């Protein structure tokens, strides 16, 4: 049956396009969508900040530490050039006691200073232990363990490539008067950070049972963490006097 005029008017009213306010309500995102959008923006911002922090920690701190270590190294060599006396006491300066050369690590010349705290190691140097076990400096001529530490990542990362060392590789410590040449004889890829026995005068975990002239390199592992310690042991094979030209040992040429 045909619809009446009143019925047609009602149908037209119900199917007519919605007003501006209704369309605006449909276009406006709901609360959940707004929350998701804000959360996404926060995640992006956090990601950028974390990225900047990583760049700072793993790159910029290296730049700053290397600059400071280079200045300190220059001071040590200047100090050596001005010294006239000899003997173990001549090593101890406010800037450092000598230089470590480890060809396998490809880390150049590393200044060695006293102490293993962050206030020392953050300057891009290696430090010798004074606590909990005191390192024996090779210049004393006494048997013992010349135990050192350095950062693996950031702040110079001087021991970053410690895992490249193999048995038989040379480790050379340079002083004003002598070159001390060691050779790697044992490696411990992972041990507890509380394992102080690795720096004992006789590092029994290395397999040695008798006193000797040892050197120990320690750093954090795995890379980018400080959960465990990586340890390398070397033993002194010879001492070479420094000549007027400071000709390095054959192991460094």
Q: Going residue by residue through the chain, which has 253 residues, state the pLDDT in tens, using 9 for 90 and above.
A: 444 545 444 444 445 455 555 555 555 567 787 776 666 666 676 665 555 445 445 667 888 888 999 999 999 999 898 876 655 445 556 679 999 999 999 999 999 999 999 999 999 999 999 999 999 999 999 999 999 999 999 999 999 999 999 999 999 999 999 999 999 999 999 999 999 999 999 999 999 999 999 999 999 999 989 999 999 999 999 999 999 999 999 999 9
- Tell me, yes or no, whether 36 lies in a domain: no
Residues involved in catalysis? 220
> Which CATH number do you get for residue 239?
2.40.260.10
Q: Please give the residue range of the domain that contains residue 132.
A: 53-252
Q: What is the pTM of this model?
A: 0.78
Confirm if 123 and 69 have CB atoms less than 8 A apart: yes
- Tell me, yes or no, whether 1 lies in a domain: no
**61 Cβ contact partners less than 8 Å away, ≥ 6 residues apart:** 122, 154, 155, 156
**DSSP H or E run through 110:** strand 109-114
**218 Cβ contact partners less than 8 Å away, ≥ 6 residues apart:** 147, 148, 149, 198, 199, 229, 230, 231, 232
- Tell me, yes or no, whether 143 lies in a domain: yes
- Tell me, yes or no, whether 17 lies in a domain: no
What are the distances in angstroms from CA 9 to CA 1, 12, 144, 193? 16, 5, 106, 86
Report the DSSP beta bridge partners of residue 215: 146, 234
| Total structural domains within the chain | 1
């Amino acid at each position: 049956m045909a619809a009446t005029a009143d019925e047609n008017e009602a149908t037209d009213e119900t199917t007519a396009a919605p007003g501006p306010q209704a369309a605006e309500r449909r276009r406006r995102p709901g609360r959940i969508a707004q929350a998701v959008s804000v959360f996404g923006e926060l995640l992006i911002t956090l990601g950028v900040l974390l990225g900047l922090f990583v760049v700072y920690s793993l790159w910029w701190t290296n730049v700053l530490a290397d600059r400071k270590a280079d200045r300190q190294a220059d001071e040590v060599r200047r100090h050596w050039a001005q010294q006239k006396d000899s003997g173990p006491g001549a090593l101890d300066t406010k800037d450092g006691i000598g230089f470590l050369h480890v060809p396998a690590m490809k880390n150049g010349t590393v200044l060695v200073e006293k102490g293993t705290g962050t206030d020392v190691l953050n300057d891009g140097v290696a430090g010798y232990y004074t606590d909990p076990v005191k390192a024996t400096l090779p210049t004393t001529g006494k048997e013992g363990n010349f135990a050192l530490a350095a950062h693996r990542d950031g702040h110079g990362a001087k021991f970053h490539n410690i895992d490249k060392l193999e048995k038989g590789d040379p480790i050379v410590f340079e002083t004003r008067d002598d070159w001390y040449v060691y050779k790697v004889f044992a490696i411990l890829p992972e041990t507890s950070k509380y394992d102080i026995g690795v720096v004992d005068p006789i590092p029994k975990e290395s397999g040695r049972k008798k006193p000797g002239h040892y050197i120990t390199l320690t750093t954090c592992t795995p890379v980018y963490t400080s959960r465990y310690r990586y340890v390398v042991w070397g033993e002194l094979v010879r001492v070479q006097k420094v000549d007027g030209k400071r000709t390095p040992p054959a192991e460094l040429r």
